[in-house]
Amino acid sequence: MNGNDTPKTEADGSAERNVRPLCSHCRFPLPSNTSGLRHYGLHTAHQESECLQLLRAEIERLREVLTRLQQWADAYPLDQFPEVLRQEWQQANEVLAQAGLSMSRMSASNMRHVLNGARKMLAEGLGPN
């Protein structure tokens, strides 16, 4: 959200279009039908129950994203997947090197997979803004 109540524009690929003004209380877009809105001088807001409903839905949506991130973070518990010891890393590195494989490349691939999954969830949480 852009921090003020003025309509903002965004590029749609070929031309800019107007985006609906934001509620001064919950910061969600106001409906195009202005009946039932509250007006405070230059500020306009949904009815209080509508703001609360929108904010509760947003909290629920964000909690769902956080829950999935938490599940990813808890996916490999130490009691089921004990930490690899330094000597074991060195041994694995030697075995991979003998097979012409790079531990660094494999580690980077694993990390990229995890971070791309986390990035996707974070993008869902942050939304299009």
Shortest approach of Zn ion to residue 46 CB, angstroms?
A: 4
Shortest approach of Zn ion to residue 18 CB, angstroms?
A: 19
Residue pair 96/103 in contact by the 8 Å Cβ criterion: yes
Say whether residue 46 binds Zn ion (CB under 5 A): yes
For residue 121, the 8-state DSSP code is H
- Taking the C-alpha atoms of residue 73 and residue 65, their distance in angstroms, rounded to an integer, is 12
Shortest approach of Zn ion to residue 37 CB, angstroms?
A: 9
Cβ neighbours of 30 (radius 10 Å): 19
Residue with Cβ nearer Zn ion (54 or 121): 54
Say whether residue 22 binds Zn ion (CB under 5 A): no
Binding track over 51-90 against Zn ion, x by CB under 5 A: x---------------------------------------
Residue pair 69/118 in contact by the 8 Å Cβ criterion: yes
Span near Zn ion by CB under 5 A; candidates 20-28, 64-72, 76-84, 110-118? 20-28
Amino acid found at 60: E
- Taking the C-alpha atoms of residue 87 and residue 16, their distance in angstroms, rounded to an integer, is 59
- Taking the C-alpha atoms of residue 129 and residue 84, their distance in angstroms, rounded to an integer, is 41
Say whether residue 24 binds Zn ion (CB under 5 A): no
Binding test (CB under 5 A) with Zn ion, winner from 12, 16, 22, 26 = 26
